[in-house]
Amino acid sequence: MPKFTNVQTETGIQSVGRMGQSATWGDYNLDGWPDIFLSNSDRNTRRNRGSQRSLRLKSPHINRDQVQRSFLFLNEEGQFKEVSRYLGLPNSRYMTATWADYDNDGFPDLALGTIRAGKPPKLYKNIDGVYFIDVSEDAGITKEGSTVSHGIWADYDNDGNVDLFQAGMGVSFLYKNKGDGTFEEISERAGLGERLGTNSALWFDLNNDGYQDLLLLNNGMNKMYLNKRDGSFFDITESSGLGGRQIWDSTSACSGDYNGDGYFDVYVTNIGRASGNALYRNNGDGTFTNITWDTNTDDVGDGRTCAWIDFDADGKIDLFSTNHVHPNRLYRNMGNDVFVDISPLVGIDYPMDIFAASWGDYNRDGFIDVFLNGHLGTALMKNSGNTNNSVTLNLIGSGLLSNSSAIGARVEITNTEGVQVREVSGGRGCCEQDMLPVYFGVGQDDTIDVNVKWPSGRTCSFKDLSLEKVNHFTIHEIKCDIIPSKK
């Protein structure tokens, strides 16, 4: 069974301070190696470059420009170098960070949700993978009045341009991408104007109609909105069964098809011992069934964030969740709705109080790793792997039919074990984003079939794809071709 080892220091990621908040993998320079953006929310953390430790700054005379709160680490074939100050990125406290190519120029841009009350997100345009510029005001990301708790991308109307949803404590905002470099705030018009205390949000295709639906995780009852495919949303909270309970304080959610029926199931994390977390099985008819107790995945009601990942590449996605004052959980999917917590056995139960768990194959060895960023520490947890095989598929939309980041694309692979499905995601969990390329474990198989349904509705299929020599591929929408990725 794979084990996890903290390799943060030996890979060059120095201390990023306490009070860690966000983590997001994104290949900003398109070299094929996922880079990572990190932030913390500590007012008093400074990096000591000599000792690589964090200092608590208690003097009122400290120059706050010396305090580093956000970081971009360039991945140089598995080793990292901090480059944010050279690329024009800000040094500030951020709650959330997500990558997407909003202008379809081929380079992923960065949306940052500030911790400052009432202030809008920041949008940084990636200039050819060389530097970033703040285009927030020019782009129209200017709506004030709500504290950003989460920012996630989705092309909700499938017009080929990714839109930005800002979950907020109070009101939330939906910024529609107009395709000319600007956005329009349309939450009221889209049916999303209800005032809620929203901690985070999740886009996923609930009913497999090719359109992204929206789940809001709140203080109190959660909200599920069905995409009506006309630019607006309809509240289906009651009929879907995803509302939860009034006593809940839901912190995050993640979606994944754990049972291989082709529909995305949902896991919700909650704070509060009376709550517990919740696993909902998608019934395929627009409704969900709470199967938490049957699957023993309730945890302790102390949740921060969650993710569906295939850590052992056996072809069944497993469930990872983090807690405030309790150890993390890694529920191994044993099949037939059976999950077993193996976190102590594989070495991923600590550190605790993790807000962001961002998954990506940073060293391209075919096994999924994770960066943990939280209030009690950080860790880059390397997956030791096993003898199983895997495939990573990097999708590139045309920028005309589908957004170039391919966010919202549905990818299916078929092997001897059956069909697996993933979506390209513009963010999930509390305040993080996994690498954009989709990852599948395939067990001992070395040949698979691949089917991609792009947000535009176009499909690309590839039969008998061999994994004997290469397991990283790039798929282009415009040519419907698949190319081995250079390492």
pLDDT tens, residue by residue, 130-172: 999 999 999 999 998 777 788 999 999 999 999 999 998 878 9
389 versus 92: which is more confidently predicted? 389
Spell out the alpha helix ranges (H) of 225-302. Answer: 237-240, 292-295
- Look at residue 317 in the predicted model and tell me its pLDDT: 99
Tokens matching residue 320? 């990872």
Is 83 in contact with 132 (CB distance < 8 Å)? Answer: no
Sheet holding 459-466, edge to edge: 418-423, 410-415, 447-453, 459-466
Mean pLDDT of the residues in the chain:
92
Is 215 in contact with 224 (CB distance < 8 Å)? Answer: yes
pLDDT tens, residue by residue, 366-386: 999 999 999 888 999 999 999
What is the spatial distance between Cα 266 and Cα 254, in angstroms, rounded to a whole number?
A: 6
- The domain 4-383 having CATH identifier 2.130.10.130: the answer here is yes
Class of domain 390-484: mainly beta
Q: Which of 67, 66, 71, 22 lies closest to 44, judged by CA?
A: 67
Tokens matching residue 61? 């005379």
- Look at residue 44 in the predicted model and tell me its pLDDT: 60
pLDDT tens, residue by residue, 306-315: 999 999 999 9
Q: Say which range, 39-43, 190-194, 287-291, 470-474, has the weakest mean pLDDT.
A: 39-43
Determine whether 319 is exposed, middle or buried from the number of CB atoms within 10 Å of its CB (0-12, 13-18, 19+).
buried
Q: Helix, strand or coil for residue 398?
A: coil
Average pLDDT for 15-38: 92
CA atoms within 13 A on the CB side of 450: 30
Is 391 in contact with 448 (CB distance < 8 Å)? Answer: yes
pLDDT tens, residue by residue, 386-420: 999 999 999 999 999 999 999 999 999 999 989 99
Domains of the chain by residue range: 4-383, 390-484
